[in-house]
Structure 1
């Protein structure tokens, strides 16, 4: 059905009755806080474990306790809230579990900064005092984001709020750690980790970001032992780590180095003899074909070192300074290297390069752009560092999780994200779960005097185990490390429900129904929850994982503070209201797509909110009131039947869209019914009835209007909760705060729905096509012209006669009749169903000039399309341009092509 904006608005007849109770201006700030406080205080968000209703559970991805609401949170939580409110209206016992994550490194950083401002240092005040400071900060400032989620309208079950460091969750963490240790799935090992020299802790891959850095590639000459004048040249971006080299690797098939098999190179500056090993890791096409191997300071080198049983000396300390502890014994007393001890890695780099150049062992230097890993919070380059850490056997835990997705017990939406999940899980590495921080779950491990480890739930249990082992009381030292934040959040779907106790909530609300999250944490959180849920609960943590894209700016660029294109959702809420932001997000949340968000889109949806508000005022002023006795099955007029039938189809389509997580389609269906059916057409068709004499027809149209508006409010509520709840009470459908508890709409009986649909859809199409034609021809709104029909069926002419008032008013027509004889010269025409509708315009506008104007615009659109087409046909442009630029050009091409086609059709409509 073609849809067009109404030429007259509901406001045009707002003087038709008494002043309505609904305010003239739509002002969301006047009711949002009041409504939310009412919902929360009345328990409207609370799950009911005693209810016979089928549960529906969503676990919030717990935001960092340090965080404040950003646009990604707004996306994630709006989609969750839509699902929860919708299922609640469907009668499900909905639990949306709230909570926050202790965010180990982020929180410690915030508190350390605060201490530094007071001239204090955590090491100076000690661990216990520092943790007291963190808890104090958490109590005062840690709830910011939960208050901001309320501003967004998130209907979380707040009395159930959990924190990953609260007592219950801490008990769950200890239970999991101890159990996995006893099962041999947690162990200690000496391996490489991402090390942050500023925070002096291991960090996860998620906390590392690669930054493009302009640097150099240094070519270093290593003398070959026993071959005077022979050197093997290696290229490196990290000359400071050469002190820890324990081999040079060359490809076994590289003929250039065939004579060096089994020989040794002399490591410059140290004099240490290191083997030249044959290993496929070395790429003959890159650099010199020879690679220095520093197993303790490079992840790839570590694997080469393990394959060849190489020593792995560490030459950098925890702060990234040169450390000679493991190589000092091999250095002469007057060695240049001894003078590097304690020097920062980058300062040492310059000294090493200068010395190699002095010794004629620096072959050359080339400019080089490198991707350097940095700590996302510290901002300093990350060091691969060989340390003893606690590890979890992720490969063993991954197998049941993989099988759960393969068998369909957990489904990904969109399905292609399963491939990302599988790719990670099938090649998963040991998970380093320890962190060298103070804030977090301290590892429940104690060490005896000989280093033996005792892993227990409590210190008392560890002391008892030690007493049994040593046959005497001994002093135990607790492991100072804490667990990776992802370890505790991996337990979130069941620890929040009271596990390890066998609570009623665990049995009722686990597994959860759906997880809503971004693709960027599939590896780090989704996978870990799957592993822990399958292992400890014997079932998957969620039946569906809905993966959404990123929010980008209107040009498709990723938002970042450095680009200055970050959008603050709270500022948007202040400017346009929470509902406008929420409906914008829903409308743009297409499957597998990033969304391009700009203020204009939110502003447009604010106008949509205003349109609904004005429609409510118009209805109220025209005597439309809630009518509990209204019987949809008894309506007799085509207009009432058409509206009720359209409402039925909108509800069915919206329900189907939400069932498959098509939030964009849900928004589109709702907006089409609200704007396209109810406001722009039904109310326009109803105006003469409202303004006419009282009687059965007016009563029926008013009844249909109030029923249709109630359907609108219920249909929109999950997406636009504030305005719908306010209008529900203002209009009189129920007391304030009752819409949230109202049932989701269902189909009502509509007699002769198909006939009504055919008739009214035809009227809408006719008026829309005539309006579009008049707009294309630049016909002034003040001018009315007759509508002449050629080849029209009798039923078409009868319909026109029945709806002549609406056609005349809305299509600016003087009459509607069959064409007698030949078509007059100078008409513009359009086909509607079987008939050709002609508008005689020869005496109204210069048709020749209009044809020429439209032709010029068509040529211009075609020329612009050709320019963009040539750009996109250039393979080099497509390969080199940023993806968002390519996508923008494709969208521009589609727009120009559509415009050219529209203008060509307009030219064809002019005859004579």
Structure 2
């Protein structure tokens, strides 16, 4: 065997391991294998930058599952890939171009897209290098990209098919609009922030009597130009007489009616709501119900249009300011209340999002949502871990709105729709119209979530014509791992698109994790500057430490709090394993294979190998618990069980006991010693196999020293169970523990030999202890430097330690040096006498008592009293010792 370095260095250990795994093709799928299949597809990170700590957590969870399944005999595949992230990537590239003094319009669509592809290749390379640093066991031969030619074919086919089925349509509806990027946004691209704002109150005067008015409050006065009516609750006695009346819109003088609808809350605000169907999602729905006009008052850059009269061309917020000034002069502005409210911001541009009626492409959600709800009520339902997120999925499906899928961008899958130049007829097809010159293609692209919704089956080489070999073997995906923040936006969409196009659920299990927060529990963000780069953590602590920390510090569905202290603790744990491995390898000749060990186990005379049988029993129990926990995705529990077994059972107990067993003694036979050595190595090997999914690098490094398989990934989870009788081991532990505690309490160095007499006259284990006393004595002598005797103690002066229902009687002379204690006590009395004398002098000095601070005098008096108490107690003790 190769000797390990004396000191554990994560930088040296983790070097070149990934390249070795790739070279041996250990991550590749085995399509023709007879093994059971297990598959994962990576949630594709955006090609907009580096991976963050959340990606590291997500990746570590998936890698643990793949490595665990592989060493449990599965044919595994983990398909990597990246997301083209339409709006996010375009925004990043435009920002880079602006730094060079160029806009995308200077380049034109085709040249701009070439620049984005350059960006993609640059950042894809960075992401792959980070995957390698984390040790992710990805099958790169299957890597996919959401804007590849293959995905584009699927996107076009799906879009056309859904259009023909009436599941996709084009229409004018309210959407989230980014006025800076000039594109529609998905809900997930809108970030809501607490924002200081105002609630503005205005008079809407009655046409028939201008002295009467209804008071209306709004946070967005600039949208008043699009008001088409006021709405009150029909059950509101204050306003029922106004229903059907006409009021004057103070912003533009337009006459608008007062209508009634129970949507208005009587107790909210003034109880009167203005309705602007083109600029508010709720007003839009109300407008459809009452067949109200939709008046757009803004341009796509959030400047006001001609409907805003003299404010035409002004930015929306400048128009707000000037409108209030005008209406104040006219006497229709009542007041402004300062408020803090939730305002939507574009995740990419940070512009305040404008609810905007726009001509867009939509997915009709009702029939698709029903498919998901039906699936989750069936016996074939997707399993969520934790299960409560199944309710989250169902609630979203029950309340889903039609999905805006068009984006006003250049980077992304261009919508396969054309408009006839003369007739304006719409053509939707996989291929362009035959007379393409007479048609203009829709310039919009599809929402990134549209293409990523096909990810589970697109990664399996799905086509509409035939079932691929990948689909046959690995679909549905075994486990999907993702965060709870995108259940709505990604998980749900993958489910209904898979049901629609493959007639199958996309995955069997969904493992949900939370968010990583900083040490104070705050969400990590650029604005707070509290983000942590996983590559920095790997540099300082190693990927193994980072992975183990991420994997074992949060239950499914819960957030995780970053902790530098826990990372240090994890590094120390790995160092403990390293040192234990060094000891084992310096004391044994070889690590046995499973068959070699089992042959030795069957043949060896095991009557006195109690410690070896005990650790094998513990190994079996640990493997059962770890496997059961991982199968349930309870990695924290698995990590805790492993930690306790390695640190307490193996390192703290077994190695110490094994040292005694294989060391110089006449009790243990050579055959038994050899079996102990084999057990030391065999258990260490299986510890590394269990730990490998958590800590792939260090476990591979130690395993490589064994001269067995070319990689630990070729090993298998231990299947044989050990369940031997080990009665005497309990007595060994109990006696050693009692003696260790006794030494610690009495401050007795381990170099001082003790004699202990077993008082077992009334013990239920008398016969058992008599039979095994020699075996027990060996460990007590070697580990706690104590000679154990079954004979009754002859001395009268002894200390008796209770151990279960028997006692250890220890002569006091073994550890109690009376002369030394007498001398030490006398020295302390002498020192205290001097302090008492000094204190008395100070307190009898009038100058000190009168001139010193009161606190100082009081402090000295307290010291004096304490000295006297200590002195009296020590004199008492000295007198007792002299008796």
TM-score clears 0.5: yes
Q: What is residue 458 of structure 1 aligned with on the other side?
A: 431
**Comparing 666-675 with 703-712, which one deviates more in the overlay?**
666-675
Give 2:305's match in structure 1, choosing from 323, 326, 331.
323
Distance 1:115 1:179 in 2: 38
Distance 1:191 1:360 in 2: 35
CA 389–691 in structure 1, closer or farther in 2 if over 3 Å, else same: same
Q: Following TM superposition, by how much is the alpha carbon of 1:823 offset from its aligned partner in structure 2, in angstroms?
A: 11
Distance 1:543 1:719 in 2: 23
Distance 1:359 1:153 in 2: 69
Matched, 1:482 2:442: no
Per-residue CA deviation, residues 202-255 of structure 1 (Å, 9 max, x unaligned), is: 111111111001111111111112123111111111111111111111111111
CA contact (8 A) 2:222 2:316 kept: yes
Q: What is residue 767 of structure 1 aligned with on the other side?
A: 736
Number of residue pairs matched by the alignment? 799
Give 2:373's match in structure 1, choosing from 395, 402, 405.
402
Name the SS for the 1:564 alignment partner.
coil
Q: Following TM superposition, by how much is the alpha carbon of 1:437 offset from its aligned partner in structure 2, in angstroms?
A: 0.7
CA contact (8 A) 1:651 1:747 kept: no
Give 1:176's match in structure 2, choosing from 129, 153, 158.
158
Per-residue CA deviation, residues 424-453 of structure 1 (Å, 9 max, x unaligned), is: 011111111111111000000000122211
Matched, 1:755 2:725: yes
**Comparing 800-809 with 692-701, which one deviates more in the overlay?**
800-809
Q: Following TM superposition, by how much is the alpha carbon of 1:840 offset from its aligned partner in structure 2, in angstroms?
A: 9.0
**Comparing 555-564 with 768-777, which one deviates more in the overlay?**
768-777
**Comparing 644-653 with 799-808, which one deviates more in the overlay?**
799-808
CA contact (8 A) 2:798 2:809 kept: no
Normalising to structure 2: TM-score of the pair?
0.86
Q: What is residue 526 of structure 1 aligned with on the other side?
A: 491
Distance 1:809 1:224 in 2: 101
Give 2:648's match in structure 1, choosing from 676, 700, 708.
676
Distance 2:219 2:785 in 1: 75
Q: Following TM superposition, by how much is the alpha carbon of 1:656 offset from its aligned partner in structure 2, in angstroms?
A: 1.3
Q: What is residue 633 of structure 1 aligned with on the other side?
A: 602
Per-residue CA deviation, residues 386-430 of structure 1 (Å, 9 max, x unaligned), is: 001101112211222222222242111111111101100111111
Distance 1:287 1:374 in 2: 25
Distance 2:30 2:689 in 1: 22
Q: What is residue 128 of structure 2 aligned with on the other side?
A: 146
Q: Following TM superposition, by how much is the alpha carbon of 1:559 offset from its aligned partner in structure 2, in angstroms?
A: 2.2
Give 2:68's match in structure 1, choosing from 86, 95, 98.
86
Q: Following TM superposition, by how much is the alpha carbon of 1:527 offset from its aligned partner in structure 2, in angstroms?
A: 0.4
Q: What is residue 718 of structure 2 aligned with on the other side?
A: 745
Larger Rg: 2
Q: Which runs of 5+ in 2 are unaligned?
A: 822-883
Q: Following TM superposition, by how much is the alpha carbon of 1:55 offset from its aligned partner in structure 2, in angstroms?
A: 1.4
Q: Following TM superposition, by how much is the alpha carbon of 1:801 offset from its aligned partner in structure 2, in angstroms?
A: 5.3
Q: What is residue 842 of structure 2 aligned with on the other side?
A: none
Q: Following TM superposition, by how much is the alpha carbon of 1:779 offset from its aligned partner in structure 2, in angstroms?
A: 6.9
CA 771–247 in structure 1, closer or farther in 2 if over 3 Å, else same: farther
Distance 1:728 1:358 in 2: 84
Distance 1:613 1:783 in 2: 31
CA contact (8 A) 1:246 1:294 kept: yes
Matched, 1:255 2:244: no
Name the SS for the 1:746 alignment partner.
coil
Matched, 1:589 2:561: no
Distance 1:485 1:444 in 2: 15
Q: CA RMSD in A?
A: 2.6
Q: Following TM superposition, by how much is the alpha carbon of 1:593 offset from its aligned partner in structure 2, in angstroms?
A: 2.2
CA 384–775 in structure 1, closer or farther in 2 if over 3 Å, else same: farther
Give 1:499's match in structure 2, choosing from 455, 462, 475.
462
Q: What is residue 629 of structure 2 aligned with on the other side?
A: 657
Q: Following TM superposition, by how much is the alpha carbon of 1:91 offset from its aligned partner in structure 2, in angstroms?
A: 2.0
Q: What is residue 702 of structure 1 aligned with on the other side?
A: 677
Distance 2:396 2:738 in 1: 54
CA contact (8 A) 2:456 2:477 kept: yes
Q: Following TM superposition, by how much is the alpha carbon of 1:482 offset from its aligned partner in structure 2, in angstroms?
A: 0.4
Distance 2:361 2:742 in 1: 73
Name the SS for the 1:803 alignment partner.
helix
Distance 1:723 1:200 in 2: 50
Matched, 1:440 2:415: no
Q: What is residue 413 of structure 1 aligned with on the other side?
A: 385
Normalising to structure 1: TM-score of the pair?
0.83
Q: Which runs of 5+ in 1 are unaligned?
A: 1-18, 328-336, 468-472, 847-912
Distance 2:487 2:43 in 1: 12
Distance 2:776 2:394 in 1: 60
Distance 1:526 1:540 in 2: 11
Distance 2:426 2:365 in 1: 22
